[in-house]
Amino acid sequence: MSANRERVYRGGAARATVWQSVGMRDRRERRSHLTAPRVPTVGIDIGGTKVMAGVVDADGNILETLRTETPDKSKSPKVVEDTIVELVLDLSERHDVHAVGIGAAGWVDADRSRVLFAPHLAWRDEPLRDRLSERLLVPVMVDNDANTAAWAEWRFGAGRGEADLVMITLGTGIGGAILEDGHVKRGRFGVAGEFGHMQVVPGGHRCACGNRGCWEQYSSGNALVREAREMAAADSPVAYGINDRVGGSVRDITGPLITELAREGDPMCVELFQDIGQWLGVGIANLAAALDPSCFVIGGGVSAADDLLITPAREAFRRTLTGRGYRPEARIAKAELGPEAGMVGAADLARLVARRFRRANRRRVERYERYGRTLGRQAAQP
């Protein structure tokens, strides 16, 4: 196990039993969340810097979590897959694992089996579901991390009771997801919800996606830091507070620092959040015109600024909403589940593909024996 791993226990000890799947994977029954087995499952949230795994029960309670750094050799897909397997096997020693859900930062196909593209990992058309299913011997579900976070907020968080929900995740960029009547809308090719790359300013800031003027260039963590650094580098008189804090080292300006100073009342940092929030509200109004949900849930690291961000977003939303004054306004709420939302949602979605297995303690031994044989065959290959 990695020395960097952090283990967190929530609740009492759990009996260690691993279940072996039965039947054909292709004949898997798709269940709604109301009829899915009320069994514990594992959720995995994979990002560019960390991998977080947790056992989650049917009510969304986290029983245990493990965290480790994303492997340095992440250019090899197998290295990341080995890390996932290691985490699941570790959790399986103490919990009954019936299925595994993966929330990946990237594009996942409509069948939720392959990662088409992951910006921070070397996954390109990677058959992640099948490879992990073969190694873990339990059903595996793969989805985009914004989809899994939105599902968790709809089931257990800020979106409970909403029929139609849109989630916007503000981090380095902008991610998103759409839920309609209790179903994640993934689109024909599985890549719906990439709201951050809607063009809002023709010919605007260059985006990492290759286009110009994308929404995330004006309302995201990157946009917040870029603007603050530009003001500090120009030695603007309004940037004296943040320049004093970093001793003139512009590269030390980060999103959390800007948030901290804004909470302390620093005028420039407060104004930056107002700008980010206004762009957020404009984008939400555009999404309301296209999708007409009852609720927008705002998550991601930038949302930790709370009312510094949400208040100007609501104001801009009301000012720019088409048909304002003659239509109901969607509710705008801050996400409640924090950084664990993607993991919880992945675990809960995995229950939709979980099967009930015959309980037997000896299955744990068989599983490790089979895993050992697989590693032995791989080592023997030239």
CATH number at residue 356: 3.30.420.40
- Confidence class for position 78, pLDDT limits 50, 70, 90: confident
Q: Where are the alpha helices (DSSP H) in the chain?
A: 77-92, 128-136, 145-156, 221-233, 240-246, 255-263, 267-291, 307-320, 341-350, 362-380
Q: Same domain, yes or no, for 59 and 175?
A: no
In-domain check, residue 114: yes
Please report whether residue 182 resides in a domain.
yes
> Residue 7: what pLDDT?
54
Q: How far is CA 101 from CA 45, 59, 331, 351, in A?
A: 9, 16, 29, 8
Report CA-CA distances (Å) from 318 to 37, 149, 301, 308, 324: 42, 26, 24, 17, 7
Residues 353 and 244 grouped into a single domain? no
Q: pLDDT for 85-133, tens place per residue?
A: 999 999 988 988 889 999 988 888 888 888 888 777 778 888 889 898 8
What's the pLDDT score for residue 217? 93
Rounded to the nearest 10 degrees, how much is the dihedral formed by the CA atoms of 104, 106, 109, 112? Answer: 10
* Torsion-angle region of 210 (φ positive above 0: left; ψ -120 to 50: alpha; else: beta): left
pLDDT at 330 over 50: yes
> Which residue segment(s) compose the domain that 86 sits in?
36-151+340-368
CA distance 220 to 297: 15
Asked whether residue 378 is assigned to any structural domain, the reply reads no
Residues 345 and 284 in one domain: no
How many folded domains does the chain comprise?
2
Q: Note whether 182 and 99 are same-domain residues.
A: no
Based on the fold, state whether residues 301 and 345 are members of the same structural domain: no
Residue in 141, 66, 146, 52 with CA at minimum distance from that of residue 335: 146
Q: How far is CA 284 from CA 10, 168, 238, 281, 319, in A?
A: 36, 9, 29, 5, 11
Q: What is the DSSP string of 19-39?
A: ----S-GGGPPP--TTTS---
User: Do 116 and 173 lie in a common domain?
Assistant: no
Question: CA-CA distance, 165 to 163, in Å (whole number)?
Answer: 7
In the chain, the percentage of residues whose pLDDT exceeds 70 is: 82
Q: How far apart are CA 347 and CA 56, in angstroms?
A: 6
Indicate whether 245 and 104 sit together in one domain: no
Q: Tell me, yes or no, whether 239 lies in a domain.
A: yes
Q: Which amino acid is at 291?
A: L
Q: Note whether residue 92 is domain-resident.
A: yes
Specify if 20 maps to a domain.
no
Query: In this structure, what are the phi and psi dihedrals at residue 104, rounded to the nearest 5 degrees?
Result: -110, 140
Asked if residue 255 is part of any domain, the answer here is yes
pLDDT per residue as tens digits for the range 311-329 = 999 999 999 999 998 899 9
Question: Is 296 contained in some domain?
Answer: yes
